[in-house]
C-alpha cells in the first residue's frame, strides 16, 4: 500500500507479520489527502493493541496521528465552520448538543448501522416506515437553562476564574 506517491520508507520491525509503509515527511505532495478511514496503519495499530502489545501500539498510533497532522487539511467537513480541523472542539460541541454527528463519523456509524440492520434481514426500513415518530431519532433532551441564566452562569464563572 502506498500512502502517497514519492519516497516511501518501509519499516518491517513494527510487526513480524506485516510490513508497513510510512511516507517520508518531506514527500507529501501538494494537495495530497491522506486516507484516514480504514487506514492500514491505524488498523494494524488496533490489532497490535488487542494482542496486548501496548507500547508498540502506542508508537504506531502516535506515528499515525503525526502523519495525519502533516498531511494538511484532514477535516472532511465542507461547511464554513470555525471549528474546521479542531477535532477535539468539534466532537465536544456535537456531544453537547447531540443534534447530529460530525461528518467525519457518518461513514463509520453507517457501516455499523448496516451491520446491525442486516441482523434483522434489513427490516429497519420497514420499522422506520411503521414508526414515523422515530424518523429523526430518539427524542433529545431540552436545555433547562434560559439564555439569561446561561449569561449569569458564564459571568459568575468568569469572575471566579479571574480571582
pLDDT one-digit tens code per residue, 96-122: 998 889 999 999 999 988 888 888 877
Residue 139 has what pLDDT? 54
Residue 162 has what pLDDT? 72
Q: Tell me the C-alpha distance between 127 and 113, whole Å.
A: 14
Q: Are 45 and 67 in contact (CB under 8 A)?
A: no
Q: Are 60 and 41 in contact (CB under 8 A)?
A: yes
Q: Tell me the C-alpha distance between 158 and 151, whole Å.
A: 10
Q: What is the dihedral of CA 40, 83, 112, 98, to 10 degrees?
A: 160
Rounded alpha-carbon distances, angstroms, from residue 46 to 10, 57, 58, 101: 19, 7, 10, 23
Give the single-character DSSP code of 122. T
Give the single-character DSSP code of 72. S
- Using a 10 angstrom Cβ sphere, with 0-12 exposed, 13-18 middle and 19 or more buried, the burial of residue 125 is exposed
Three-state SS for 135?
Answer: coil
pLDDT < 50 regions, the chain: 1-28
> Average pLDDT over the chain, rounded to whole?
76
Domain ranges of the chain: 8-70, 87-162
Residue with cell 513494527: 14
pTM: 0.56
Amino acid at each position: 500500500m502506498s500512502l502517497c506517491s514519492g519516497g516511501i520508507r518501509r519499516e518491517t520491525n513494527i510487526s513480524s507479520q506485516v510490513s508497513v509503509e510510512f511516507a517520508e515527511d518531506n514527500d507529501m505532495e501538494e494537495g495530497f489527502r491522506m486516507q484516514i478511514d480504514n487506514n492500514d496503519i491505524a488498523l494494524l495499530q488496533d490489532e497490535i493493541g488487542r494482542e496486548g502489545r501496548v507500547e508498540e501500539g502506542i508508537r504506531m498510533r502516535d506515528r499515525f496521528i503525526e502523519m495525519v497532522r502533516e498531511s494538511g487539511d484532514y477535516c472532511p467537513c465542507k461547511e464554513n465552520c470555525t471549528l474546521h480541523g479542531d477535532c477535539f472542539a468539534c466532537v465536544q460541541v456535537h456531544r453537547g448538543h447531540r443534534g447530529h454527528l460530525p461528518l467525519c463519523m457518518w461513514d463509520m456509524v453507517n457501516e455499523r448501522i448496516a451491520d446491525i440492520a442486516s441482523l434483522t434481514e434489513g427490516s429497519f426500513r420497514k420499522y422506520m416506515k411503521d414508526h414515523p415518530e422515530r424518523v429523526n431519532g430518539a427524542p433529545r433532551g431540552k436545555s433547562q437553562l434560559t439564555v439569561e441564566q446561561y449569561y449569569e452562569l458564564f459571568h459568575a464563572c468568569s469572575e471566579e476564574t479571574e480571582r
